Structure formats: structure tokens, C-alpha cells
Structure 1
Amino acid sequence: MSSDTGPSRRVVLLGALGLATATTGVGGCSATDGPTLSDGVLSDRFGVEAPRWRMAVPRAGRSRGLVVALHGFGGGADDAFNLGFGDAVEPSRMALVSVHGGNSYWHPRRDGSDTGAMVRDELVPMALEAAGLPASSPVVLLGWSMGGFGALLIASELGRSRVSGVVAASAALWRKGSETPARAYDGRADFDRHSIFNRLDRLRGIPVRLDCGVSDPFIAANRVLAQRLPGTETHFTTGGHDDGFWSGNVSAEMTWAAARS
């Protein structure tokens, strides 16, 4: 509840970030039944110029938790909403936030950028505050392709106390540094440091859901990850590495996220 003597912390925070709240919902929802939408820009201290974020919060009642959506290579903050995740906010009662993270594979790079730290240290605290959730609330990390890798990586850094679940769809995983495209890592040492297969101990105990199409070029690596990370829930079904596969799993993934929040 806000104080009569001045604006609440939430109002101050959102105002400082230049947030603009929309009056309409997502995907055809009316202003009375759709989520509350907002967007803004984070600081550039993590090496990304004017990183735009978007957010959707359930309109009535408290959010069950927060889903942090990470886009794939070449994507941006709009992608989660274009795929339909915004439409699942009200049914799941999960707040949703996305951000433009460039093409750096969500980890520190030689050029000085660090989009993983941007998510951990700025986006997550801001979004929890905006959703009306305690600062200590664990979050669900979700992503597809490059973002699927990023969700697993950031979860391994935040740890079990701050992550209630990970949804990685078509995660861009390579088992060897020699298999990766040059844009994904800054050499062998960078790959070894951030490979998910070298971080399995950090992920154990965190609920993980892997979704991947059986025609996806990353299916083999995703199968290996599932084998090496006991307890992983897998949904390896018909489909490829494309929007059709990712959008087709939105409702199930958000329901899964809510059940773990």
C-alpha cells in the first residue's frame, strides 16, 4: 500500500526508469481483462546501449512469481510478446519481463559487455519491485535458442535460493568449443568457463524443463544435458528450431513456471 505522504517505492522506481504503462492488454485482451503492460530502458553500465525492457503484470491480485524471458540470437525485448508469452500472464498469474540483450550469448564478453550481469543485477531487482514481489523472491528463467542457454547459465550463477525453475527451449548448446560459431564465445577459455556442461553441479537442485524439437540441430546436445542432469523434465517433440515450435509451448511452459513459484 502506498503512503499518503508521498509516492511509494514502486512509483519512484518505475518513474525513474521512464516506464510507460499501457492501457490495453496483450494479444487482443481488453483494458479490463489483460495484464498491465510497461516498458522502459535500463542503464548502459553493462555495455549495451539503451537496453529496452518490456513487462506484463497480472491486472488483478498479486503475481505468483516472475518469469524472466531471454530472447534468441538476433532478437529483442518484443520477442517474448510476439511469441505469445504476454497472453499467458493472466491465466498463469505470473509476471513477465523481457529485455534486449544483443547477441552476446548472455555472458561477459571481450568487448566489455555483460548481459548476464545486466539481467542478474539490474533487470531482476527492478522487475521484482515492479511486480510487487519481495526482493528475495526466486524467479523462473526462461529462454529459447541463445536465450535457452542464457537461462541455464544465469540460473547456474544465481543458484538454488534465487531460482525456482528454468525453462530452456531449443537451448543453443555445444559440447565442444570447436563446434561453436565464433560469435558465441571469445575463444576456448571463454567456452570452457561458460559451458553448461561444466556447470552441472551448480544446476543440480534447480527444477529444469528442456523443450526441444526432434528436428532441431541442438536436439543431440539437449538430450545429453538431460541425461547428465538428473531430474530434468524433457519435452522432446515434433518440431524444429523456429517460432512455430516456441509459440506452441508457451502455455505449457508458463503453467510449469507457475507451479514452481
Structure 2
Amino acid sequence: MALAGAGAGGAGLAVEGGLLPGRSTLYRALGLDGAPGHVPGTQPGPLVSGHFTSKARLGASVGWTIAYPPGSAPGDRLPVAVVLHGYSEDHTDAFGRRLGLEHFLAQDHARGGTPFALAAVDGGDTYWHRRVTGEDAGALVTDEFVPMLAARGLDTRRIGLLGWSMGGYGALHLAGRLGAARVASVVAESPALWHQASQAASIAFDGAADFARSGVMGRQQELDGIPVRVDCGTGDAFCPAARDYVAGFDAADHPAGGFEPGAHDMAYWRRMAPAQLAFAGARFA
């Protein structure tokens, strides 16, 4: 895997791909990452999975899973948050022994949260936007997956978007493209962000023009009217850029979330999941 230069871009991709220890290992060694989060034992609601052939992903067979809250069933007209996975992962990382979001969703429901579904799909490693090859994981979400969710009875008039790492960037990017009329909330966890094309991981964008077209830095106004939450661990290589991104919002639109001890890993993401799902659910209420 190629890395960008020695700046934040190279470090960020190394964190995502697990290739270099970097900032996360240093903070972990110093005991600065905080307590790890754990998947709760709450019994989840139904899960439905499948595959379809994606035109947007140039004929790739993509997997997907929908997680329903307890007491609901496939076909129920629930609002839905689309979950975008990180680099070198797929939709299954959102559930099961990895992030375990179906258990956190059940926990939120048990605490009186607004019932909603979570739906994840395989986006490949193309950073959730159109690439020079013609592959477009963003269009997969908006033009194929969301209509499929609607056909299964879910209420997709205004969706939530939630993602981590590459998917955190993707959630912000797609929310900006769709706008407040289509997006109820966006949660970006440890988003893969860079200030300049020269800093970005080489796999993330097809050069400076693609970065200028598809980057989210400096485009905070595209999220006007959308409730935004951004979380990032202070031991994460992406933390400095995430702080700058959050600082770029107007005071009246300052995102929820924040920065606390944590690394670019599942231990931190599991710890943040309850608050993030509560945030998304409250915006559907």
C-alpha cells in the first residue's frame, strides 16, 4: 500500500491500515487512551442480510445488513441510519464481534430511545466518492442502497449517516451532497481528514483535483441545517485535522461530540457508540 508523505496524510493511512504504530501506539503505551468500550449484552433485534450487484461499483457484488431494534420486524416503517465502514473493512465490521452496533441499538431502545434501524453496505476502499475508474461508492449509497431500503419498507425520506475513519469522512461528504432536506443527522467518528491534497493518503483521492472536488475541509456550510456530531480520540493521528474541521463551523452550528482519550480503534469506537446512537435517534424523534 502506498503512503503519502511524512505528514498527517501518511500517518493517517498508516493508522487506518494498521501499518505503522505512530501516535496511537505512543498514547496507548503512556496509558492515555482511556477505558475501552465493550459491546453490551443486550439482546439485539432482527438482522437481515443479503447481496446485490452494484452498477455504481462496476458490477461488484456488495453485501449489506439491516439491524432492527427489539420489538420491530423487517418491513416495519422505521427511520434508518446508513453506516459507512472504514478502510480495508466491509459492512460486517459494523456488527457482531467487531463494533456490535446491533447490541448498542438494542441498548438505546431499552433506554427509551427513538426506534430506528441501522443499515450497512460494502463500499470497498474508494473513500465513498466517485473515482477516476468510474467506481462510485457514494452513488452506491444514494442511488442503489437507499432505494433498496425504501423498497423494504424503511422510511428513507430523511436518513441518518454514521461512519468511522474512511466512513467518517464519507458520512460528512455524502451529507454535504444530500443536504438538510435528505439528512436527519450525521455522525463522523475519527474521520479521515486532511488539510491539503499533498497530505492525504494516496489511496484516498485521485490527485489534487479530486481532493478539491471531494474533500470536506472548508465546506462546513454544506451541512447547514443538519445536526452534526464529530468525535475523535486524542491519541488518533486524525485528531489535529478533526479539531480544525470542527473549529471551522460557525458558533451557532458547532457540532456535538468532542475529543477525549482514545485511539483509532474499536475500543474507542465502542465506547462512543451509545452517545452517538442516542444522538442519531433523537434527530429522528
Same-fold call, TM cutoff 0.5: yes
1:249 partner SS: helix
Kindly state the Cα deviation for residue 109 of structure 1 after the two structures are TM-superposed: 0.5
Match of 2:86 among 64, 72, 86: 72
For the pair 1:56 / 2:70, whether they are aligned, the reply is: no
For the pair 1:104 / 2:118, whether they are aligned, the reply is: no
For the pair 1:193 / 2:213, whether they are aligned, the reply is: yes
Q: Which blocks of at least 5 consecutive residues in structure 2 are unaligned?
A: 1-38
Distance 2:257 2:117 in 1: 24
For the pair 1:118 / 2:172, whether they are aligned, the reply is: no
**Aligned positions, number:** 231
Contact 2:79 2:155 in 1 (8 A): no
Distance 1:239 1:59 in 2: 30
Q: Which of structures 1 and 2 has the larger relative contact order (alpha carbons within 8 angstroms, sep 6+)?
A: 2
Kindly state the Cα deviation for residue 28 of structure 1 after the two structures are TM-superposed: 6.4
2:232 partner SS: strand
Match of 1:250 among 273, 277, 285: 273
Contact 1:66 1:128 in 2 (8 A): no
Contact 2:218 2:248 in 1 (8 A): no
Match of 1:177 among 193, 197, 203: 197
Show CA shifts across 1:194-223 (max 9, x none): 110242221122111001001111111111
Kindly state the Cα deviation for residue 125 of structure 1 after the two structures are TM-superposed: 2.0
Q: Which residue of 2 aligns with 1:133?
A: 154
Kindly state the Cα deviation for residue 43 of structure 1 after the two structures are TM-superposed: 2.4
Distance 2:40 2:144 in 1: 28
Kindly state the Cα deviation for residue 60 of structure 1 after the two structures are TM-superposed: 2.2
Contact 2:69 2:117 in 1 (8 A): yes
Distance 1:135 1:98 in 2: 14
2:90 partner SS: coil
Distance 1:100 1:143 in 2: 12
Distance 2:275 2:222 in 1: 26
Q: Which residue of 2 aligns with 1:232?
A: 255
Contact 1:84 1:250 in 2 (8 A): no
Kindly state the Cα deviation for residue 237 of structure 1 after the two structures are TM-superposed: 0.6
Distance 2:40 2:64 in 1: 18
Q: Which residue of 2 aligns with 1:202?
A: 222
| Amino acid of the structure 2 residue aligned with 1:165 | S
Q: TM-score, normalised by structure 2?
A: 0.76
Contact 1:42 1:123 in 2 (8 A): no
Q: Which blocks of at least 5 consecutive residues in structure 1 are unaligned?
A: 1-25
Show CA shifts across 1:167-189 (max 9, x none): 00000000101001111000100
Pair 1:89–1:112, CA change in 2 (3 A): same
Kindly state the Cα deviation for residue 110 of structure 1 after the two structures are TM-superposed: 0.9
| Amino acid of the structure 1 residue aligned with 2:92 | D
Distance 2:120 2:135 in 1: 18
For the pair 1:220 / 2:273, whether they are aligned, the reply is: no
Contact 1:204 1:229 in 2 (8 A): no
| Amino acid of the structure 2 residue aligned with 1:256 | F
Show CA shifts across 1:90-142 (max 9, x none): 32422011011110000000111000000011111222342x33442x11100
Task: Return structure 1 stretches of 4+ with deviation > 4 angstroms.
Answer: 26-29, 61-64
Kindly state the Cα deviation for residue 41 of structure 1 after the two structures are TM-superposed: 1.3
Distance 1:51 1:218 in 2: 28
Match of 1:84 among 100, 106, 111: 100
| Amino acid of the structure 2 residue aligned with 1:45 | K
Kindly state the Cα deviation for residue 59 of structure 1 after the two structures are TM-superposed: 4.2
1:178 partner SS: coil
Show CA shifts across 1:129-176 (max 9, x none): 42x33442x111000000000000010111101101110000000010
For the pair 1:260 / 2:283, whether they are aligned, the reply is: yes
> Percent identity among equivalent residues?
39
Q: TM-score, normalised by structure 1?
A: 0.83
When structure 1 is superposed on structure 2, of 197-206 and 150-159 the one drifting more is: 197-206
For the aligned residue pairs, the C-alpha RMSD in angstroms reads 1.8
